[in-house]
């Protein structure tokens, strides 16, 4: 495995990066599809067109650099309020509920419509990869690959590592051909601690540098090769040096923190 410096990449909501940032970073580690002020559900044509236009713009701005599109990760409490949602679903803990790939595979027609939008953009932008969120078992990736086979998708496939079961069985995803892993520290830390960061009564107990987190990161290192890319994403800006110390390929910094992150890595 070659020794490389950790790159800085972006995690984008709906921002349009300036040239200064584009020229200084290694690409976009994650485009969050659900981040929008549009009150319509992802399948509504106007919302779908908004996603298509934004993703196309980002791919063009970062031509020659990787851009990873994360499929919809709208939690139920938000989806319930969107115009055109498939079904109102009440959950006691949406953080652990029907979101990410769980929701995509529950509402497969919606997932297919999202994939068709993605594939249209991908057909014009070879730097675009597909990232699957909230994966906890290889069966979810197998099902996603079966659906993608219907569209003859030959591009790269990535998986979010946000749940300890996914981290501890990362070798099974590699065996399925997954080559890109985004370590989502916000959810991963919450799930490892058994704490919902949305609940103010307990969120102060979360420790992003807990020894259990180091254990999970070091487990991933066992499966790091030239062909496997690991990126750390989430609220990473305040602890960049800590995350860089694990020697993963990249750190995806939220756009709101990118200038300070670049200053500290000069």
**pLDDT tens by residue, the chain, 266 residues:** 333 468 999 999 999 999 999 999 999 999 999 988 899 999 999 999 999 999 999 999 999 999 999 999 999 999 999 999 999 999 988 889 999 999 999 999 999 999 999 999 999 999 999 999 999 999 999 999 999 999 999 999 999 999 999 999 999 999 999 999 999 999 999 999 998 877 878 878 889 999 999 999 999 999 999 999 999 999 898 899 999 999 999 999 999 999 999 987 65
* 239 within a domain of the structure (yes/no): yes
Question: What is the C-alpha to C-alpha distance for residues 179 and 156, in angstroms, rounded to an integer?
Answer: 7
The pTM for the full model equals: 0.95
Domain assignment present for 63? yes
pLDDT at site 266: 56
Q: Does the residue 2 lie in any domain?
A: no
Q: Is residue 109 part of a domain?
A: yes
Domain membership flag for residue 206 = yes
Q: Is-contact 53 32, C-beta < 8 A? A: no
Is residue 253 classed as helix, strand or coil in its secondary structure? strand
Query: Exposure pattern of 52-79 as b/e (b: 16+ CB <10 Å)?
Result: eebbeebbebbeebbbbbbbbbbbbeeb
For the chain, how many structural domains are there in total? 1
Would you state the pLDDT for residue 263?
85
Give residue 3's pLDDT: 38
- To 5 degrees, how large is the angle CA 112–CA 113–CA 116? 85
Per the structure, the complete domain to which residue 255 belongs is given by: 7-264
Domain assignment present for residue 1? The answer is no
Residue 211's region, left for phi above 0, alpha for psi from -120 to 50, else beta, is alpha
pLDDT of residue 5: 66
Q: What is the CATH number of the domain that holds 91?
A: 3.20.20.60
Please check whether residue 73 lies inside any domain of the structure: yes
């Amino acid at each position: 495995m070659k020794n490389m410096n950790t790159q800085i990449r972006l995690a984008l909501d709906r921002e349009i990066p300036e040239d200064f940032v584009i020229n200084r970073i290694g690409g976009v580690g994650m485009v969050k599809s659900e981040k929008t002020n549009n009150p319509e559900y992802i399948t509504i044509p106007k919302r779908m067109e908004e996603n298509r236009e934004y993703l196309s713009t980002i791919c063009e701005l970062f031509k020659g650099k990787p851009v990873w599109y994360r499929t919809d990760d709208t939690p139920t409490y938000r989806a319930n309020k969107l115009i055109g949602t498939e079904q109102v679903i009440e959950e006691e803990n949406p953080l652990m509920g029907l979101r990410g790939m769980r929701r995509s595979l529950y509402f497969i027609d919606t997932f297919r419509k999202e994939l068709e939008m993605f594939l249209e953009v991908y057909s014009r932008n070879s730097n675009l990869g597909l990232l699957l969120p909230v994966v906890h078992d290889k069966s979810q990736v197998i099902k996603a690959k079966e659906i993608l086979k219907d569209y003859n998708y030959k591009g790269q496939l990535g998986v979010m590592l946000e749940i300890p079961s996914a981290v501890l069985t990362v070798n099974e995803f590699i065996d399925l051909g997954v080559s890109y892993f985004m370590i989502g520290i916000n959810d991963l830390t919450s799930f490892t601690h058994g704490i919902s960061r949305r609940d103010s009564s307990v969120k102060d107990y979360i420790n992003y540098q807990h020894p259990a987190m180091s254990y999970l990161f070091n487990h991933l290192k066992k499966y790091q090769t030239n062909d496997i890319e690991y990126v750390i994403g989430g609220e990473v800006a305040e602890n960049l040096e800590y995350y860089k110390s694990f020697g993963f390929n990249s750190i995806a910094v939220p756009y709101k923190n990118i200038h300070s992150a670049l200053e500290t890595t000069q």
